[in-house]
Amino acid sequence: TYIITRSEKKAYNKLSSLDEKVKFLAEFWDKRDSDLQTPLNEGREEYLSRVEYASRFDIGMKKGWQTDRGRIIITYGEADEYVREFGDINTIPHETWYYNNIQGGVSFVFAATGGGQEYRLIHSTHRNELQNHNWLDLITR
C-alpha cells in the first residue's frame, strides 16, 4: 500500500488473471531488489522487516502498519533519532522522529491527540507529508 506507485497500482488494477498478477508482483519486487547478484531480494526483505517493526504500534484491533507511525516506518525506515515527551500538566504525550538523510533532514511529530495510545501524525517538515505550522497548539492543554 505505501510503496506502490500510482502507475503501478493502476496497472495492477487492470489485471484480471492470477498469472498476470503473479507476474506483476514478481516484477514489482525485482525492481526493488538492491543487489541482483544475490538470490535474496534485499528490497523485499527490508520492506518485510519494516512491516514487522511497525507491529510495535498495534493498538487493539488496528494493526501497526495501519497507524501513522507504522506508515512512516514502512515508508522511510527507522528514524535516526527519537524524542519522546510523556506529557505533563501543559502538554499531551507526543514524540518527534528525526531522519537526517531525507531531504537534508526532516522530522515527524506524532501526538496522542485522542487521549489514547494511538499517536497520530500532526506535523512534518517532509515536503510530501502533513505540514501543520500550528502543531504546538495541538499538544498544548
pLDDT in tens, 80-125: 999 999 989 999 999 999 999 999 999 999 999 987 889 999 999 9
Q: What is the pLDDT of residue 36?
A: 85
28 pLDDT above the threshold of 90 = yes
Mean pLDDT (the chain) is 95
Evaluate whether 65 touches 3 at the Cβ level (below 8 Å). Answer: no
Contact assessment for residue 132 and residue 138, using Cβ atoms and an 8 Å cutoff = yes
71, 47 Cβ separation under 8 angstroms: no
- 94-99 and 120-124 beta bridge pairing: unpaired
Question: Which amino acid, one-letter code, is at 33?
Answer: D
